[in-house]
Amino acid sequence: MELVVVDVSELAPPEPMTVILTALADLKQGCCLLVTHRRQPFPLYEKLVQAGWAYHCQVHDDDNISLFIFKQAEQLVFEQCFDGKTFHSA
């Protein structure tokens, strides 16, 4: 599974969401989006699931998180590739 990385940690709302949406629109099959952000985008999670996406969040610090977004159908591939690995950007 190939990672597509975007860093939205220095963007003011609503730019992080715009960047994430644009990246998801362009995301190819078999790819996973890795978002580096300062905070968890809680309200986004339920919407992602409703739209057929799965996510996995690693919280490194008060203001540093890594969020993986991929197609729900690719959950198994994601687990095989990345389960247990951490992606600390700092």
- Chosen residue from 2, 62, 76, 90 binding another protein by CB under 8 A: 62
Residue 59 as a binder of another protein (CB under 8 A): the answer is: yes
Nearest to 44 by CA among 13, 11, 82: 13
Residue 17 as a binder of another protein (CB under 8 A): the answer is: yes
Q: Is the peptide bond before 14 cis (omega within 30 degrees of 0)?
A: yes
Structure tokens at 43: 């309200």
Binding site for another protein (CB under 8 A): 10-14, 17-18, 21, 24-25, 38-40, 42-48, 50-51, 53, 56-60, 62-63, 86
